[in-house]
């Protein structure tokens, strides 16, 4: 136990995914698999009360190119004072990026744009540095784009390109695990952290406190944090319990 107590903490980012103004969860990122969990502001405030330092806030409608929840997202960010927000979904150009930064988000997670528009992504990484993370959503070692509906190239080729651009952080999701409560893809994470010195945030599949402990074991190797979604909404454990295991 002493070893575990001395392991650096794992940063937890409870997820609030917003579609049609409501907090929802998807299974394997597929449109049409939404389960609604009510008001996103209530969900975020509940996480803040339980001790969240970060919230991973996603505009699913923007990610799927079917609308925007910008007003709701701004409201969430305003309400959860003292909690930092990582914002994701549909940020593909200067206009949407500037609006996201102006909303008060501490960090922006680029997804599809980093794959489809590498020059723009490199420029943005150069301009905003640590405020930009890149989301790498993978099936096997093939990246998924456009709300996971299209292929976006080879993971390692894209990673090399982003490393050259000076990307400061990666948010890595195994699409096949997301929303399934089947455990994170530890092998993928172990391989990824050998290929970049940058911090990696793991996403997808966290189902138990044991999963959080396993991810915390990877912190000394380069995993910085974990996004936790469905397990919290399904009541597998509370955020307070998860933060305890994560070392907060």
Catalytic residues: 17, 137
Report helix angle 40-49 to 70-79, nearest 10: 20
Tell me which DSSP letter residue 62 carries: H
CA 79 to chain centre: 20
Give just the sign of the alpha carbon dihedral 178, 109, 115, 30. Answer: positive
How many whole angstroms separate alpha carbon 27 and alpha carbon 230? 9
- Each as own residue / partner, the long-range contacts of residues 229-236 (CB below 8 Å, 24 or more positions apart, any chain) are 229/14, 229/15, 229/17, 229/25, 229/56, 229/178, 229/179, 230/25, 230/179, 230/180, 230/181, 231/181, 231/206, 231/207, 232/14, 232/47, 233/25, 233/35, 233/37, 234/181, 236/181, 236/207, 236/208
Give just the sign of the alpha carbon dihedral 151, 156, 161, 167. Answer: positive
User: Would you call 145 helix, strand, or coil by DSSP?
Assistant: strand
Q: Nearest to residue 97, comparing CAs of 77, 111, 83, 78?
A: 111
In order of 63, 91, 113, the CA distances from 96 in angstroms are 12, 5, 11
């Amino acid at each position: 136990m002493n070893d575990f107590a001395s392991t650096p903490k794992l940063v937890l980012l409870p997820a609030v995914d917003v579609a049609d103004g409501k907090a929802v969860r998807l299974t394997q990122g597929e449109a049409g698999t939404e389960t609604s969990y009510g008001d996103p502001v209530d969900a975020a405030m509940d996480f803040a009360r339980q001790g969240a330092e970060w919230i991973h806030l996603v505009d699913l409608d923007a990610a799927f190119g079917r609308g925007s929840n910008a007003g709701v997202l701004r409201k969430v960010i305003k309400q959860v004072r003292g909690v930092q927000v990582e914002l994701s979904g549909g940020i593909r150009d200067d206009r949407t990026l500037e609006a996201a930064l102006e909303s008060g988000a501490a960090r922006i997670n680029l997804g599809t744009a980093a794959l489809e528009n590498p020059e723009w992504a490199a420029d943005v990484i150069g301009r905003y540095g640590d405020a930009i993370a890149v989301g790498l959503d993978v099936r096997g070692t093939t990246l998924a784009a456009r709300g996971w509906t299209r292929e976006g190239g080879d993971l390692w080729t894209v990673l090399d390109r982003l490393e050259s651009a000076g990307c400061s952080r990666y948010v890595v999701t195994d699409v096949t695990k997301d929303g399934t409560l089947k455990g994170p893809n530890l092998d993928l994470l172990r391989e990824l952290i050998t290929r970049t010195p940058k911090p990696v945030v793991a996403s997808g599949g966290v189902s138990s406190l044991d999963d959080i402990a396993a991810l915390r074991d990877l912190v000394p190797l380069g995993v910085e944090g974990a996004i936790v979604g469905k397990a919290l909404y399904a009541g597998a454990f509370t955020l307070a319990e998860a933060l305890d295991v994560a070392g907060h």
